[in-house]
Structure 1
């Protein structure tokens, strides 16, 4: 097996297409896109007639689009010894560290990521390298550096940009757009990782939040906000916010407002239930306690959002590939989302087409349909029966290239 781009037909599969599941199915891949999908006999015959005779058998596996992780930090450095190791990296070490994380992310079946604060604009170089085929990794949509007030959440790192006042935040938005940002990330409240703040600490005034949203929208960029308390979220949603990260303390009325305005939620449930991860990184006790203590309210907030009809999207905050509780962080987050009231079918949507629609990329990604990029993953269990099926991902294709095949022992190294 190799990862060279070759026309092929994926056969002996059960494919979950945009129109529903197709058993005994085949997917014809030409170049980096899907040419046809449907009953195996029909699709294979058309492919052979066109001269594409290479076939890849998947042994009856379920095939879905690759997963999309909407809250990614490939340069994450939390307080503690593990985070200090990343903080101390020079630019060359950091680039290689992020490239390795991108490769590992792709191999676990995450074929698209949304980066929501990365150090030193290294994410743009990584995106260019992946697009050019020099580095294996997922498709990257990125916010560049997140915008934060002086001393605000995450101000300690080079993955944020301190800005104050409406004019300062407008300049901050423009600076990220200039660098190549696909979206804008802003911190509007405190959070778990800030020692001198609380989750409920307001960090921007209304005119500052308005300046971020208006400026970003004028440049055709959506805005997502790190936010915890309901009242701060409500203000931002009224001003046109496109997405909330975390949403630790939502109330029914605020969740209803989000649903009415079309503001999505990336709940990152792992953030308040990852004691093992924090211990591994040597995270200080104050942060562990704040995280775990916020857990019950966080889960209640998530349930409130679901009940109100808020669109929820998959995002782990932990590195997508991180080995955690018997799987990787992306799948574990999806399991929490499904168990928290979403269910497996809606969890599949929250991990594929939902994020892609938010990113404005539904013409190219998110479903197994002709014309879409051939970003596919395969597993033996049915993901419509349980989100835990993704624990068994054993085959990954990205843009028509097979990058992992457990049956043959192949994986991009």
Structure 2
């Protein structure tokens, strides 16, 4: 949460902790017996407890918080978030039927729950009615509790394309139409552009492999977005469509249900990231809860084995993979929340705990271009931190035990102190 008015003066020193972050892949190991000094919204110092405490004491008054042996990491970053998600079925229909005011409150509640579960930054990749921009302003100003938001605004689709039924997409056609679509989202304040270039699991009259943009349209999206300094991510399933997009300069693939080794190698060569969203093809419990129709459940769950094979191909090729749940980040699922469950799937399917920590924290922040402020536990960066009792380098499931959350220097969750939890 980026709100200076909510930071806790005159400073906080976190002790009794081991600090670890995604820089472990760069050779920066865990720091046991550590302390983290937070002043205002940002980290002032990190190091051995005695040294940090001495520096804080020399600077004046501060409050000490003993984390009782916890592991401290940066907050998680969920790169595939829809706070206004409305899948086919009764649950989705209820969201679609909300008026503007009810939708805003619904999304604000989701943002609060997202932050409390330890996700301190999200990348929204299609939200209804541009309500995400209002929500971001409210969080930034301190009126609403929630994660930092990077957003694509409305996703761009062809007429009748994937997701065209909702107000979270914008129908475009032709080169000029897609150029205008990109510019309209930039005008609204988009940090990136999302485009649907193939069918998916939630479109009744399409298949996962259905091509939905022609080459000149796709080139127009990428060229225009890059001219405005915005990266492009694409909802995409089939290998031939992904290969064409990557060749044109696509920055990120969402899902990638049907990759081939050749296309994965091309992605790795060009630096195109993958947000695999493994949950979406293995979440029957979630679908049942929302009343998702049988046709969609069959398509989704049936795609699961091939989806996992694609993910393995991406890992083997060295593609950068990043955490993204597609399900609401905070959603209770299989004994934890959707963000952690997705990270567990990624880790267990070949990524491993250390790379999973990176994929859930520093990797996404680097893709977002926000590394100067976020993504690691270093002096000068925003104090967006979480604490848990287990070691996330030993087992990714340690994130199930998040019990303390700080956002922008403000403690928003502390289970031991009885503060609210997600």
Normalising by structure 2, we get a TM-score of 0.97
Correspondence 1:268-347 to 2 at 5 A: 268-347=277-356
In the alignment, is residue 20 of structure 1 matched against residue 24 of structure 2?
no
Q: Separation in 2 of the partners of 1:67 and 1:327?
A: 14
Cα drift, residue 20 of structure 1: 2.1
1:133 aligned to 2:142? yes
Matching residue of 2:3 = none
Question: 2:151 aligned with 1:147, yes or no?
Answer: no
Q: State the secondary structure of the residue aligned to 2:30.
A: strand
Paired positions, count: 412
- Partner of 1:181, secondary structure, is coil
- The alpha carbon displacement at 1:4 in A equals 4.8
For 1:86-235, list aligned pairs within 5 A. 86-235=95-244
**Which residue does 2:404 correspond to in 1?**
395
Conservation of the 8 A alpha-carbon contact between 1:9 and 1:52: no
Deviation of the 1:412 alpha carbon = 7.5
Q: In structure 2, what is the Cα distance between the partners aligned to 1:412 and 1:341?
A: 31
Secondary structure at 2:378 match in 1 = coil
2:7–2:408 CA contact under 8 A, matched in 1: no
Contact 2:233 / 2:251 at 8 angstroms: preserved in 1? yes
- Which stretches of structure 1, 4 residues or longer, exceed 3 Å deviation after superposition? none
Q: Distance in 2 between matches of 1:273 and 1:32?
A: 38
Cα deviations by residue, 1:278-300 (Å, 9 ceiling, x for unpaired): 00000000000000100000000
Q: Alignment partner for residue 5 of structure 1, among 3, 8, 24?
A: 8
Equivalences for residues 65-84 of structure 1 within 5 A? 65-84=74-93
Residue 229 of structure 2 aligns to a residue whose secondary structure is coil
C-alpha displacement of 1:308: 0.2
- Per the alignment, in what secondary structure is the counterpart of residue 184 of structure 2? helix
Residue 328 of structure 2 aligns to a residue whose secondary structure is: coil
Matched, 1:405 2:414: yes
- Counting only pairs closer than 5 Å after superposition, residues 347-362 of structure 1 correspond to structure 2 as 347-362=356-371
Deviations 1:19-65 (A, max 9, x none): 22110100000110000001001101100110133101100100000
Instruction: Work out whether residues 8 and 52 of structure 1, in 8 Å CA contact, stay in contact via their aligned partners in 2.
Output: no
TM-score (norm 1): 0.99
* Matches of 1:133 and 1:297, distance apart in 2: 44
Checking the alignment, whether the CA contact within 8 Å between 1:104 and 1:321 is kept in structure 2 is: yes
The answer to whether the 8 Å contact 2:36/2:52 transfers is: yes
1:133-153 Cα offsets, whole Å, 9 max, x none, are 100000000000000000000
The alignment's C-alpha RMSD in Å is 1.1
Deviation track 1:256-294 (CA, whole Å, cap 9, x = no partner) reads: 000000000000000000000000000000000000100
* Aligned-pair CA distance for 1:5: 2.4
Does 2:263 match 1:254? yes
Question: Which among 47, 68, 73 is matched to residue 64 of structure 1?
Answer: 73
In structure 2, do the counterparts of structure 1 residues 390 and 412 end up closer, same or farther at CA, with 3 Å as the change threshold?
closer
Structure 1 unaligned residues grouped into runs of 5+? none
Tell me, yes or no, if the aligned pair for 1:136 and 1:412 is still in contact at 8 Å.
Answer: no
Alignment of 1:30-45 (within 5 A): 30-45=39-54
Matched-pair contact (CA < 8 Å) for 2:37–2:52: yes
Distance, in Å, in 2 between the alignment partners of 1:52 and 1:113 is 34
1:171-205 CA-to-partner distances (Å, cap 9, x unmatched) read 00000000000000000000000000000000000
Aligned twin of 1:265: 274
